Amino acid sequence: MRIACNRWYSWGRPNGVFQIAHGIAEHIGRYTGLIERLVESGLVVFGNDHRGHGLSALSPRQFGDFGPGGFDLLVENIGKLSRIAGEESPQLPLILLGHSLGSFDGSEESFHSGLKPDRPRPTISLGRVSCEACAGLKGPT
């Protein structure tokens, strides 16, 4: 399976790298407004369409299908893009934003990647807290 990836450069000297992991049933194109603001503020932005999403889906009938290897390979794809971003700009801080599904796979990737202490990566998770809070709710007893 091919994974569609994008990179947006800041005009002038960049001051950081920002990676976006989108939510379920989305694609990286939905983040165009945010990406424009990040680039205007001096960040290089990386993003991809997850397996079975956007341009990474093999056909419209396969939207949402992570394919063989499923979620584990989706997490691996996030890690590969992080490594590419880090190798291209090793002197710049790298921040990962995960929304909804992206908050889970981004956190999972950060946990398993063995991040080096000399290059910590801040992770912003949007949607994860509310999902975990809802999972803890109990119905009538």
Kindly state the percentage of the chain with pLDDT values over 90. Answer: 29
List the chain domain ranges. 5-135
One DSSP character per residue, the chain reads ----EEEEPPSSS--EEEEEE--TT--GGGGHHHHHHHHHTTEEEEEEPPTTSGGGSSSGGGTT---TTHHHHHHHHHHHHHHHHHHH-TTS-EEEEEETHHHHHHHHHHHHTT--TTS---EEEESHHHHHHHHT-----
pLDDT range class, residue 131, cuts 50, 70, 90: very low
Instruction: Compute the average pLDDT of residues 73-99.
Output: 88
CATH number for 5-135: choose from 3.40.50.1820, 3.30.230.10, 3.40.50.720, 3.40.50.410: 3.40.50.1820
In this prediction the pTM is 0.77
pLDDT, tens digit, 9 for 90 and up, residues 64-77: 888 888 888 888 88
Q: What is the mean pLDDT of residues 88-107?
A: 77
What pLDDT sits at residue 132? 44
